[in-house]
Amino acid sequence: MKLLGLGVWNLYFLVKFALFYYGAISFDFLSNTAFAAFLAVHFKNARIEKLKHLSAVMLGVILLYKDSWLPPINRLVKQADNIQDFNASYFVELVGRVINVDMLLGLFIIIVFFWYSSQWIRFTTVTVIGLTFIGWSHYKAAQQPEITQGLAVKKSENILADPAIVTTEKKSPDQQLSDFYQQQRLLMSQFPQQVEGDLFDVIVLNICSMAVDDLNTIDVSLATMYKDFDIVFSDFNSATSYSGPAAIRLLRASCGQTSQEALFNDTPEQCYLFKNLEKLGYQHNVVMNHDGHFDEFKGLINKYGGLTSKPFNIDSMPIAQYGFDNSPIYSDGAVLNSWLDNDAKDCKPCAMYYNTTSLHDGNQFANSARMNSQQSYPQRHANLFADINSFIKNLEKRGRNVMLMIVPEHGAALKGDKVQFAGLREIPSPAIVSVPVAIKFIGPNVQRYSQIVIDDSTSYFALSELVSKTFQTDVFGGNNSTANLVENLPKAPKVAENADTIMMYVNKRPYIQLDGGDWSVYPQSN
């Protein structure tokens, strides 16, 4: 047994160095160095040497996957049933996003360069230098001073309550996250015992896959899309990048933000937004433009969101699209207006939750030739908002008072970034969780004021506070302005979480933690 050069395995490390340099993968220094050391050991016995290389192939693939930003294998196993529901054409589309022409050309250039120059360049030395440099850079990064991100709420002269405090105490990201959740546990909306002023319906439109970044990608401005709305939150934190958890967080908006794990535990009844409305005499309705079966969405909002009523029947509605699992997605306009013409007449006041998947990745138009789902997104978005605007006009014709809220669940990740290819939402990156929320007050006596745009980071608790404040004012009687409603609403530091994945801003930069490991800066696209 002796030590030799790495031979063709140097190519493996050269490719990984290039991917790491461009932020396409992370790089576990200890694991990769140990792998290089294993490869350097040469056995005299030919069978053992062959077995070493066979095992090295498997280890190399596993290590590359571990260093990638792809979901851990155990998480893919848990999601196996959902992945099996993907249709074949959607799989092909996803593969095309992962493997692109630029990547293949770059790999080809590296391979040709390696074979051409290996005659006079000792690439094992290059690999050792590369590993040493990465180890040194990891060490230097670990020595960077930690500055606390303030989390406690205080009053401010701004239109919102400012969550930042000034402190010189240094805390680790884990301590800051713990402080954040501890502060959030203190928050709970106090709804009035009875309604003052005119009664009004509360309608929440929960839209899947629409972030500010997606709108920028398709050149749609908030000013145009929400031009007739009264209040716009341009940097609302959805706090997650998956539909089920996003819906639960919205439905539990009356308390502060919790960890992902806590979403699936019991919570005080006062945390449920719609249960608070029920105590004031509201009847809640559940409406969706899909069957709600994927990922047990319908069961999740029932069990953990407090929406126990049977969803509005949509079986006779026209089908507008088919999802990535070939399930029907019904016309938003037909579903919303059918509810308005039927069930809405019987509940006064109404608290209606609507969920739409019309913008979800992988959707295809019904009775049309197949399109790339990213190419069809602009048209699907235009159709959705044409339906919403038509629904609003019909609400106005009814003459009833309505507080309408549009709350996206998360983004579609239309562009992707260095870490996640387009459509992948495993990590709740800033571009995915920063969503545009809007509020519109509808009623015959509602006074129109200049639109208020809130650019500060806010989240679900602010919406619950806004609903509670609306009960305590006379907006629908024309005796109060929307500016009074948004005064001192709570801001929210941008913390987002999926299963075993957390994103949090530290020193005004997004950091991520995967599977309870070390915190690292989330690479931003150029």
Q: pLDDT tens for residues 344-403?
A: 988 889 999 999 999 999 999 998 888 888 899 999 999 999 999 999 999 999 999 999
- Answer whether 267's CB lies under 8 Å from 276's CB: no
488 occurs within a structural domain = no
Ranking 188-197, 228-237, 239-248, 409-418 by mean pLDDT, the lowest is: 188-197
In the predicted model, is pLDDT for residue 167 greater than 60?
A: no
- For residue 156 the two structure tokens come to 């401010």
* 106 secondary structure, DSSP code: H
Q: If you average pLDDT over residues 161-188, what whole number do you get?
A: 77
- pTM, full prediction: 0.86
325 and 298 in a common domain: yes
483 occurs within a structural domain = no
429 and 417 in a common domain: yes
What per-residue confidence (pLDDT) applies to 150? Answer: 43
486 occurs within a structural domain = no
Q: CA-to-CA distance for 525 and 416, rounded, in angstroms?
A: 9
* 90 secondary structure, DSSP code: H
Ranking 64-73, 346-355, 457-466, 481-490 by mean pLDDT, the lowest is: 64-73
Of the three residues 127, 142, 157, the one that is the final residue of a domain is 142
- For residue 498 the two structure tokens come to 């999926």
Residue 329 pLDDT class (50, 70, 90 cuts): very high
Mean pLDDT is highest, among 153-167, 285-299, 479-493, for: 285-299
Peptide bond into 349 cis (omega under 30): yes
What per-residue confidence (pLDDT) applies to 243? Answer: 97
Percent share of the chain, pLDDT over 70: 91
- Answer whether 451's CB lies under 8 Å from 232's CB: yes
In the predicted model, is pLDDT for residue 525 greater than 80?
A: no
The residue segments making up the domain with residue 170 are: 146-186
411 and 266 in a common domain: yes
Q: CA-to-CA distance for 440 and 203, rounded, in angstroms?
A: 10
151 vs 453, more confident = 453
What per-residue confidence (pLDDT) applies to 78? Answer: 64
End-to-end CA distance of the chain: 47
299 occurs within a structural domain = yes
Helices (H), 185-303: 212-217, 222-225, 243-251, 273-278, 297-303
Average pLDDT, the chain: 89
Residue 77 pLDDT class (50, 70, 90 cuts): low
Of the three residues 186, 210, 242, the one that is the final residue of a domain is 186
138 and 153 in a common domain: no
Give the helix/strand (H/E) hosting 47: helix 46-67
Residue 75 pLDDT class (50, 70, 90 cuts): low
SS3 244: helix
- Identify residue 32 by its one-letter amino acid code: N
What angle in degrees, to the nearest 10, is found between the helix axes of 460-471 and 243-251? 30
Q: CA-to-CA distance for 294 and 327, rounded, in angstroms?
A: 9
- Answer whether 186's CB lies under 8 Å from 490's CB: no
Rounded to an integer, what is the distance from CA 130 to the centroid of its chain? Answer: 35
481 occurs within a structural domain = no
Residue 511 pLDDT class (50, 70, 90 cuts): very high
151 and 191 in a common domain: no
Query: Which CATH number characterizes residue 200's domain?
Result: 3.40.720.10
151 and 137 in a common domain: no
What per-residue confidence (pLDDT) applies to 148? Answer: 45
Of the three residues 83, 117, 142, the one that is the final residue of a domain is 142
181 and 192 in a common domain: no
Q: Cα–Cα distances in Å, from 504 out to 56, 95, 207, 279, 288?
A: 36, 30, 24, 35, 32
Query: Which residues, including other chains, have CB under 8 Å from residue 248's CB and lie 6 or more apart?
Result: 263, 300, 301, 304, 305
104 and 180 in a common domain: no
SS3 443: coil
Residue in 400, 204, 408, 202 with CA at minimum distance from that of residue 287: 204
- Burial of residue 374, with CB atoms counted within 10 A of its CB: 0-12 exposed, 13-18 middle, 19 or more buried: buried
Q: If you average pLDDT over residues 319-347, what whole number do you get?
A: 95
List of long-range contacts for 130-137, beta carbons under 8 Å, 24+ apart: 130/13, 130/14, 130/17, 131/13, 131/29, 131/32, 131/33, 131/36, 134/17, 134/20, 134/27, 134/29, 134/32, 135/29, 135/33
Q: Cα–Cα distances in Å, from 133 out to 17, 39, 126, 136?
A: 11, 19, 10, 5
Across the strands, what pairs with 509? 506
Dihedral through CA 58, CA 63, CA 68, CA 72, nearest 10? 80
- For residue 471 the two structure tokens come to 């009960």
490 occurs within a structural domain = no
- Label the pairing between strands 231-237 and 402-408: unpaired
477 occurs within a structural domain = no
Give the helix/strand (H/E) hosting 116: helix 101-117
349 and 415 in a common domain: yes
Q: If you average pLDDT over residues 316-321, what whole number do you get?
A: 97
- Answer whether 259's CB lies under 8 Å from 428's CB: no
Q: CA-to-CA distance for 459 and 240, rounded, in angstroms?
A: 11
> pLDDT tens across 235-285, in order?
999 999 999 999 999 999 999 999 999 999 999 999 999 999 999 999 999
476 occurs within a structural domain = no
194 and 182 in a common domain: no
Mean pLDDT is highest, among 84-98, 166-180, 478-492, for: 478-492
Q: If you average pLDDT over residues 134-154, what whole number do you get?
A: 62
- For residue 68 the two structure tokens come to 């990638």
161 and 83 in a common domain: no
Number of domains comprising the chain: 3
Give the helix/strand (H/E) hosting 501: strand 501-506
- Identify residue 278 by its one-letter amino acid code: E
Give the helix/strand (H/E) hosting 503: strand 501-506
Q: CA-to-CA distance for 287 and 336, rounded, in angstroms?
A: 8
Q: CA-to-CA distance for 336 and 341, rounded, in angstroms?
A: 9
- Answer whether 257's CB lies under 8 Å from 504's CB: no
507 and 362 in a common domain: yes
